[in-house]
Amino acid sequence: MTRLGRCVLGLVLLGSAWAAVALAPPGLRLPEPYRQVLLPLPLYLLVAFGCYSLATVGYRLATFNDCREAAAELQEHIRTARDDLRRRGLRF
């Protein structure tokens, strides 16, 4: 199973468990404070996931590593392409 499939399966299982408890089937009486916390729980989880994602992107951006070898290789490719274009008659 792919990672996406596992994530979707997990979300479906969590969502169905939340719906089973939050929609209060007959015979299940939750105290009112629990219901007040349980009903907006998916929204809280979505906001927490968004905060985590922003923090992760910010951290990865702050600790981004330079690849000096790749930069030198790219400069060499650019130089080769310019020389080839000059030989074909293109002026810069």
Q: What is the pLDDT of residue 73?
A: 95
Domain that holds residue 60: 2-88
**Per-residue pLDDT at 24 exceeds 90:** no
pLDDT of residue 25: 73
Residue 60 confidence (pLDDT): 92
Cα–Cα distance measured from residue 54 to residue 49, given in angstroms and rounded to the nearest whole number: 9
Q: Structural domain tally of the chain?
A: 1
Inter-residue contact 38 to 18 (CB < 8 Å): yes
Q: What is the pLDDT of residue 90?
A: 84
Residue 3: predicted pLDDT: 92
**What's the confidence (pLDDT) of residue 18?**
87
pLDDT in tens, 39-86: 888 899 899 999 999 999 999 999 988 889 999 999 999 999 999 999
Q: For the chain, how big is the Rg over CA atoms in Å?
A: 27
Instruction: Reply yes or no on whether the pLDDT at 30 is more than 80.
Output: no
